């Protein structure tokens, strides 16, 4: 079965569920998904974290990480000046080396979107997808505790201001209470709010906040639910709750994306966010992606790192490599 991306989330869900996506049909489907072997999952993640890539790929890996980063500032003290500084770093991460790739996107609060768009100027993404995207967190990020009306207004405002991507949070309380239909309907509604007057849409990343979901089974169910509802990406965390991204959780989400692709032919993106600070850790994620869903996912349209400090370490390792002072001990063994 191949499901066309242009069909509505409801129609896509019907093809998978075999019926209308209601509270009962979603509950039956999601709770019928086989449980996760947590020990096995953690063992696979640990094994993938020790896999090696060729020495000649060091430079490629570092550059690829940079090109997959959503450079982020999500603080109450954010100012237009701080956003402009973030954009300057996104456009030219290493001023001493103009060959350094640009990051994939900058991620800010909705009210900071106009400043990010203005600061990017010609570096902002074009219709062809080139350039740097502007992502905005929405739907009462990070708690998600607001009415649907407020969440939709939050989303629509960010899109109208020029956001290319919306990072929404699911209602974890509703999900953990088994109100899957409510979560589904909210995601569908937010996706509709991502639509622009010209008929195009901002891409929707659905944040599961895996640190609050507690179990791998819940992570798997929430991943399926977000995809069934039309999410373009599934994202681990807001970065405000511990634990944030972990390799086993990300592996679990990648396995859902792999299974969805096998079922429908549709490719969904994955974004681990929060807590990934070193090149060593980021390379473990690259290997996990390549081994689970394939190297074709290692592009900004399908994989991102949500990070604020990761870029600094990658630039340091890149400088060491180019100067000949790099030591493989600085991060995962590559040989």
Query: Which residues are designated catalytic?
Result: 167, 235, 271
CB 14 within 8 A of CB 21: yes
**Residue 107: Cβ-neighbour burial (10 angstroms; 0-12, 13-18, 19+):** buried
CB 207 within 8 A of CB 233: no
Closest CA to 302 of 200, 245, 247, 233: 233
**Residue 101: Cβ-neighbour burial (10 angstroms; 0-12, 13-18, 19+):** middle
Burial 11-43 (b: 16+ CB within 10 A, else e): ebbbebbeeebeeebbeebbeeeeebeeeebbe
The one-character DSSP state at 56 is: G
Three-class DSSP category at 68: coil
Strands annotated E in 82-124? 105-109
Closest CA to 94 of 120, 62, 125: 62
216-219: long-range contacts, CB 8 A cutoff, minimum separation 24: 216/36, 216/38, 216/41, 216/248, 216/249, 216/252, 217/33, 217/35, 217/36, 218/175, 218/176, 219/36, 219/249, 219/252, 219/253
The one-character DSSP state at 95 is: T
Greatest distance between any 2 Cα atoms in the chain: 60
Tokens for 78, please give them: 């954010």
Tokens for 37, please give them: 């072997």
């Amino acid at each position: 079965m191949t499901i066309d991306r242009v069909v509505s989330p409801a129609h896509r869900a019907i093809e998978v569920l075999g019926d209308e996506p209601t509270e009962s049909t979603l509950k039956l489907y999601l709770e019928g998904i086989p449980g996760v072997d947590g020990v096995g999952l953690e063992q696979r993640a640990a094994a993938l974290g020790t896999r090696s890539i060729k020495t000649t790929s060091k430079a490629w890996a570092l550059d690829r990480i940079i090109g997959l980063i959503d450079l982020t500032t999500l603080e109450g003290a954010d100012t237009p000046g701080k956003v402009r500084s973030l954009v300057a770093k996104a456009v030219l991460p290493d001023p001493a080396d103009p060959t350094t790739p640009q990051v994939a996107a900058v991620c800010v609060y909705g009210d900071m979107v106009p400043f990010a768009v203005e600061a990017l100027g010609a570096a902002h993404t074009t219709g062809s997808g080139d350039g740097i995207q502007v992502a905005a967190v929405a739907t009462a990020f990070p708690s998600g505790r607001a009415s649907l009306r407020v969440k939709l207004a939050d989303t629509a405002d960010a899109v109208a201001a020029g956001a290319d991507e919306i990072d929404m949070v699911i209602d974890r309380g509703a999900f953990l209470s088994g109100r899957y239909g409510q979560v589904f309907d909210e995601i569908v509604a937010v996706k509709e709010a991502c639509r622009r007057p010209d008929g195009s849409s901002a891409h929707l990343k659905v944040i599961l906040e895996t640190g609050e979901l507690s179990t791998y089974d819940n992570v798997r169910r929430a991943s399926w639910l977000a995809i069934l509802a039309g999410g373009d990406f599934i994202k681990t965390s807001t970065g405000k709750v511990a634990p944030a991204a972990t390799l086993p959780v990300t592996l679990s989400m990648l396995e859902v994306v792999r299974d969805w692709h096998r079922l429908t032919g549709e490719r969904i993106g994955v974004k681990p966010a929060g807590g990934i600070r070193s090149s060593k850790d980021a390379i473990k994620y690259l290997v996990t992606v390549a081994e689970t869903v394939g190297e074709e996912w290692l592009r900004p349209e399908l994989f991102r790192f949500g990070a604020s400090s990761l870029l600094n370490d990658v630039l340091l390792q890149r400088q060491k490599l180019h100067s000949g002072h790099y030591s493989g001990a600085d991060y995962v063994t590559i040989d």
